[in-house]
Amino acid sequence: MGVFLWVVCQLSLQSTLVALAYTRPVDDVSRTFSSTTEYFHHVAEQDLRHLREQPNSIDNIDDARSKYTHCGIFKAITSHFVSKKHDRGPFKLVCDDMRFGNILVNNAKDLKIVAVVDWEWAYAAPYQMLYSPPRWLLIKKPIHWDVDDLPHVSYLSQYKSQFQKFVQILEEEESQRAQDVASTLSGERMSSLMRQSMDDGKFWFHELVYSSFESADNPAWVAIREIIPNLDELAAVSDTESNAFVNNKMEQLRLYDVEWAAMKKEIDRENTEFEVLKEKIEKEDAIEIRNQVEQEQAGDD
């Protein structure tokens, strides 16, 4: 039997690619990766490129500096969150859009799953991303949990509660099967790997992988900062480099705002013209209908 080398296609960077598709052309997506570490490093590079080239990727000076710093931190902490056992594979089919809205059931009573749809962004990914706990347990993805929501929502405690229920059911299903299909590697069950992912922080690291660059107050960064207290010391970014990036981004943002203001003015003008035309047509239609009704009534008389 020959020796097979597992590789991951760059299409597994689908979240970043989707975002880039709305801003600038992306790199050739034909390259492959032979390890989880290589894959995550490329994610970091793609995120940095996205941050650099998308004109409105930052809100202000502080946001620009923070996002640039955290792009460096993300790459620096990769080794902390790569499963050494699974660094070289296997690689599995993953669908980021697995959620309630894409699951079809037979009826509201039985809730028997009959189909799962919306697979166009499914991709090959490192195994540890497959056994990361489901993002959809609270419908709202963890990266979007907002601590400023009113009324206040304790997302993390709610998620952990739902996760315990989910993993308990998964364990029951695993135990009921004569051949444990959830255990793709000897001695490993998906439920155990999911618990481990939640405990060691891989779950939160994967949120950063899915969501491109995020601000420092994002729930994922907050959780990772608790795991690695000296996080801010890991970014090897000089003040000169940071200042150059910030100055460039602020100029990009200024030009973007000018361009968007001109576009918005043109859009408003076209909308106004459309509304005037719409009102004119509606009045003409109303007059025509009224005339037809009067003619029909006159004919009846």
Tell whether 229 and 272 lie within a shared domain.
no
Q: Look at residue 171 and tell me if it is in a domain.
A: no
The CA-based angle 244-245-251, given to 5 degrees, is 90
Q: Does 31 reside within a domain?
A: yes
The pLDDT, as a whole number, for residue 86 is 93
Cα Rg for the chain, rounded, in angstroms?
A: 26
Q: Are residues 78 and 220 in the same domain?
A: yes
Same domain for 206 and 276? no
Q: What local confidence, expressed as pLDDT, does residue 20 receive?
A: 43
Residues 129 and 264 in one domain: no
* Token pair for 6: 């597992």
Q: Which of 27, 2, 34 is nearest to 13 (CA)?
A: 27
Residues whose CB is less than 8 angstroms from the CB of residue 41 and which lie 6 or more positions away in sequence, other chains included: 75, 78
pLDDT of residue 212: 72
Residues 199 and 227 in one domain: yes
Q: Give, in degrees to the nearest 5, the angle at Cα 115 between 113 and 119.
A: 135
| Position 177 in a domain | no
CA dist 183 and 186 (Å) reads 7
How high is the pLDDT of residue 140? 85
Is 134 inside any structural domain? Answer: yes
Total domains in the fold of the chain: 2
Residues composing the chain: 301
Pair (142, 53) in one structural domain: yes
Provide the Cα torsion 32, 36, 37, 43; round to 10°: 60
Domain co-membership, 131 together with 38: yes
Domain extent, residue 271, equals 244-301
- Within-domain flag for 63: yes
Using the CB atoms, write b or e for 216-248: b if 16+ within 10 Å: bebbbbebbeeebeebeeebeeeeeebeebbee
Does any domain span residue 158? no
Q: Is residue 162 part of a domain?
A: no
89 and 132 in a single domain? The answer is: yes
Q: Are residues 79 and 207 in the same domain?
A: yes
Task: Please tell me the predicted confidence (pLDDT) of residue 148.
Answer: 65
Q: What is the pLDDT of residue 38?
A: 94
pLDDT in tens, the chain (301 residues): 333 333 344 444 445 444 444 444 445 556 788 999 999 999 999 999 999 999 999 999 999 999 999 999 999 999 999 999 999 988 999 888 888 889 999 999 999 999 999 998 788 899 999 999 999 898 888 888 876 665 666 888 899 999 999 999 999 888 887 565 544 444 588 999 999 999 999 999 999 998 877 778 888 998 999 999 888 888 778 889 999 999 999 999 999 999 999 999 999 999 999 999 999 999 999 999 998 888 888 776 6
Say which amino acid occupies 11: L
- For the entire predicted model, the pTM comes to 0.76
Judge whether 178 lies within some domain. Answer: no
